[in-house]
Amino acid sequence: MLSTYRIEVRRSPLLTAFPLMIAVDLAVLFGRSRYWIGVWPEASVAAQIVTLFLGPLLAGVSAWQAGRASQAGMPEFLLAAARPGWRVEAARLAATLTLGFLAYGIGCLTAAAVSLGEAGPGFLWPSYLLLGASTLVVFASVGHLAGRWWPSPGFTPVVCAMGCFISMLSLPFKFNVLAGPPDVHLRLLPLAVRLAVALALAVLAVTAPPLTRKAERRAPRRNLPARTRGIALLAAIGAVAALTAAPYAGELREERPASAVEPLCARADGKSPRVCVWPEHRKYLPELTGMAQRLGGTGEPWVEVPDEFREFGLLRTSWGDRGFDITEGHVRTAAFAMADRVFTTSVGWCRPPRSEQRAWQAIDNLHMWLEYRATGEDPAVADEGLHLTGVATAQREAGQAARMRPEEQRRWVAGERARIREDDWCETDVRR
């Protein structure tokens, strides 16, 4: 079997296309986004997403490899060979998976290498890498089975690659995740179900009896051993059972308990609020502490800042989670939550009557002004790359105010506050 495996590796078209596979891997890894660099869970997810693009290539090549003997018009020696046919099929599938996993591994090591400098202690999360590995096995196994049953040099590989890719995206349950924030992690049961699907399909791909009958005209038909048929039947039942159970296993990800780690906290100076983040988001901490410092230094006597800002997931309460979020590498989303926290700490929860549209606009304007103060950047730069809806007026007015001289800003802020009847419309924030 080992010699057959070596032959299949040497003859695999993936060996010739290996540089292309590496190019695809790196193009997807760095072309989709780069905010994941320096964040271990995000880097793990970025490496895992690559399998959705390597998978179709593996499915096509696996289909071609499995049907190669019939394509060449050779006798189906597996039907009459003394060696069990599943061993040869297993060697073919293993050769395809070896090259596929090698390309996948290079992408994972690249993601780890470029993250080491910023990410700090830790490494790629194995759960995400296993999820990507299960995707590759599913693609290769389905392609192998299709190639054995419907051998064709062009049609089957192409249809199999495209069909597998579309099916993977349209399944009611997913074999991939697109983002890896540190406040969530993969659940063991859904991951185990997906690994079971991959394993069952791989066993079925190498043990299932062939459907073609061309070889029977050239070689005597020899039935598969009862043990092999039994294994194939069990693999088919297992694959169907695992696919059926996958939607009932629940969501792939769940909230990560804050008790699992020690938050990373820092202050810009002795007077600034403390900012705490998940350890995996350490690279954002200097910018976030700068935001907290700027919010505490607005120069407005009515502005009160809390003693501490925490990232989403680090302080879940019965009232919800008021932590800030970092979305796809944008700390501007953290400014949203920080500004809201400062406003409610300073003024309270304000609910003017619906008829008081100018008061509602003043609240939005002050929120946006606080956000711009937190970023410390020109409003146009701060909003770059974001698509905000429903706040165009607030962006315009607060952006103009943020560019005013300090005296003019104070007058503008005082005018906006005057629009809000705080004693009547605002309640003290009891969750301070």
Residue range 243-276, pLDDT digits in tens: 898 888 889 999 998 888 899 999 988 888 999 9
Q: How far is C-alpha 327 from the chain's CA centre?
A: 12
d(CA 312, CA 195): 30
Angle, helices 40-49 vs 85-119, to 10°: value is: 140
Q: For residue 10, what pLDDT is reported?
A: 77
Judged on CB neighbours under 10 Å (0-12, 13-18, 19+), 150 is middle
Residue among 235, 16, 158 at smallest CA distance from 166: 158
Give the end-to-end CA distance of the chain in Å, rounded to a whole number.
Answer: 68
**275 in Cβ contact with 292 (< 8 Å):** yes
Residue among 221, 219, 199, 76 at smallest CA distance from 141: 199
SS3 331: coil
**Which two three-digit tokens encode residue 51?**
């399998």
Q: For residue 231, what pLDDT is reported?
A: 83
How many other C-beta atoms are found inside a 10 Å radius of the C-beta of residue 399? 17
- In sequence order, what are the residues at sequence separation of 6 or more whose Cβ sits closer than 8 angstroms to the Cβ of residue 9? 15, 95, 98, 99
d(CA 358, CA 366): 12
- In sequence order, what are the residues at sequence separation of 6 or more whose Cβ sits closer than 8 angstroms to the Cβ of residue 417? 302, 347, 362, 366
Angle among Cα 337, 338, 339 to the nearest 5 degrees reads 90
d(CA 38, CA 52): 23
Residue among 127, 134, 151 at smallest CA distance from 55: 134
**Which two three-digit tokens encode residue 262?**
């020690």
| Residue whose pair of structure tokens reads 């990232």 in the numeric block | 311
Residue range 109-124, pLDDT digits in tens: 999 999 998 888 889 9
| Amino acid in the structure at residue 332 | R
For 125-255, strand residue ranges (E) read 184-186, 253-255
Write out residues in the chain with pLDDT < 50, as ranges. Answer: 73-76, 78-80, 82, 215-216, 219
